[in-house]
Amino acid sequence: MNKRTAVIIGTSHAAAQLTISLRQEGWDGDIVMIGDEPFWPYHRPPLSKTFLSGDKSINDLLIRPTALYDKQNIQFRQGLVTAIDRNQKKLTLLDGSTQHYDKLALCTGARARKIDIPGSQLSGVHYLRNISDVQGIQAHIGTAKNAVIIGGGYIGLETAASLKKQGISVVVLEVADRILQRVTAPELSTFYSRIHTEEGVKIYTGVTIKAIVGTTCVESVSCGQGMTFPADLVVIGVGVIPNVELAIAADIEVDNGIIVDDYCRTNDPNIVAAGDCTNHFNAHYNRRIRLESVPNASEQAKSAAAMICGIEKAYHSLPWFWSDQYDLRLQIAGLSHGYDHLIIRGNIQEGRSFAAFYLQKGHLIAADCVNRPQEFMLSKRIIEKKLTIDPSLLANELMPVNLLL
């Protein structure tokens, strides 16, 4: 009797966890991972930080050593999947070859959102999403004097910090009225603006990009407000787009991500999905969401692997994230959208350590913790277990964290 085959499209964090979880859940058939990069799954958060700075190598980035995949008899196939035939349970790759599956996992992740402005194709203009993107940026670091970052989100700010630490003059241009506007409170935006300014980065908000100027290589960035910034390196970080085209073409349900249930099933019983490409119902916030988060990808992958093996393990994890900039580790518990009250614990105006608690109708729904791991863990516990806490205690620095509950 032929063994069954589970195929994973993508080499994301979700894919890395799914392969191992499949074996842990008892899948004894073949496992084939298909990726369009020549690498086993690797950690993506360090790309804009320690990998960009040269402190880590590609081998350092690998989520698991290659020997582990060999031990678990997991096959890797480099290629780009162009079509899914659900009736025949067959994948077609760009080179014309095919791959049979009995069970399929879509871990296609997301890609950098591109901007279409004059000069965006010039040499020296880069995005930052994968290893080759960073290698392209690194090729300019030795000679670059002026870098312009387009986008004041976490990727843009992390990149700005990495480049500044390497002695490059850095300017951040953000179209919104403040940096991090989409993801955090004004107080946090003010804090990170202060930190980057203190570190020597110049930040301009409310700026529209008119053109990237140069003949063959970038020379400057021209803005609609009449400002021009010299640049021999431009990094664009304006968000990501989920990779859902394969799913759409195969009539798999998509709405701001591949629609999955609590067990990561799509509308095809033989196909699961996990990670940045998915849209799931989150019970903590009573709505459907799509998360760009390593913890989410890993936890969803565990549920997806169990489902492939016929075991129902619901995914109901609390979203959480992190960002490293300079000597600051920001840990985020939950989603702050819809908050009506903000409590700050610590000195956010002058210090480099504090916790911001987001409340809605008196209940904690999220927290941003900068160099405050205890407050982060406390916040996760409160939100996950729906505990109540006196808001006045959260702001009281004299009250030890372990006594707040």
For residue 285, the domain's CATH number is 3.50.50.60
On the question of pLDDT at 239 being above 50, the answer is: yes
Number of domains comprising the chain: 3
The mean pLDDT of the chain is: 95
Ranking 75-79, 225-229, 251-255 by mean pLDDT, the lowest is: 225-229
Amino acid 315: pLDDT? 94
- Listing DSSP states for 286-344 in one string gives TEEE----HHHHHHHHHHHHHHHTT------PPPEEEEEETTEEEEEEE--TT--EEEE
Nearest to residue 128, comparing CAs of 224, 290, 238, 221?
238
Query: For position 244, what pLDDT does the model report?
Result: 98
Provide the 3-class DSSP secondary structure of residue 209: strand
Same domain, 105 and 130: no
334 and 256 within one domain: no
Tell me, yes or no, whether 315 lies in a domain: no
Residue 320 included in any domain: no
Among candidate residues 236, 251, 268, the one where a domain is terminated: 236
**Residue partners of 67: CB distance under 8 A and separation at least 6:** none
More confident residue, 191 or 399: 191
**Spatial CA neighbour of 58 closest among 46, 74, 76, 72:** 46
Asked if residue 185 has pLDDT above 50, the reply is yes
Domain that holds residue 379: 327-403
pTM: 0.94
For residue 284, report the phi and psi dihedrals to the nearest 5 degrees: -65, -30
* Interatomic CA distance for residues 58 and 35, integer angstroms: 16
Task: Say whether both 357 and 392 belong to one domain.
Answer: yes
One domain for residues 205 and 254: no
Percent of the chain with pLDDT over 70: 100
* pLDDT tens, position by position, 27-41: 999 999 999 999 999
CA–CA gap between residue 195 and residue 350 (Å, rounded): 9
* CB-based contacts of 6, cutoff 8 Å, min separation 6: 22, 27, 29, 30, 31, 32, 101, 102, 103, 104, 105, 308
Crossing angle (nearest 10°) for helices 186-198 and 154-165: 10
Q: Looking at the structure, do residues 166 and 192 belong to the same domain, yes or no?
A: yes
pLDDT of residue 2 exceeding 80: no
Phi, psi torsion values for 140, nearest 5 degrees = -100, -15
Do 232 and 248 belong together in one domain?
A: no
Q: How far is C-alpha 376 from the chain's CA centre?
A: 19
- Pick from 82, 105, 161: which is nearest to 128 by CA? 161
Average pLDDT (292-299) is 95
Could you write out the DSSP letters of every residue in 124-190?
TEEE-SSHHHHHHHHHHHTT--EEEEE--SHHHHHHHHHHHHTT-EEEEEESSSSTTTTTS-HHHHH
Q: Tens of pLDDT along 144-159?
A: 999 999 999 999 999 9
Say if residues 355 and 306 touch (Cβ distance below 8 Å): no
State the pLDDT at residue 400.
87
Give domain status of residue 313, yes or no.
Answer: no
* Percent of the chain that is helix, strand, coil (3-state, to 5): 25, 30, 45
Is the pLDDT reported for residue 1 higher than 60?
Answer: no
Q: Does any domain span residue 117?
A: no
pLDDT value at 379 more than 80: yes
Mean pLDDT across 269-286: 96
Q: Both 130 and 213 in a single domain? A: yes
Closest CA to 319 of 286, 293, 338: 293
Q: What is the pLDDT of residues 37-70, one digit of tens each?
A: 999 999 999 999 889 988 899 999 999 999 999 9
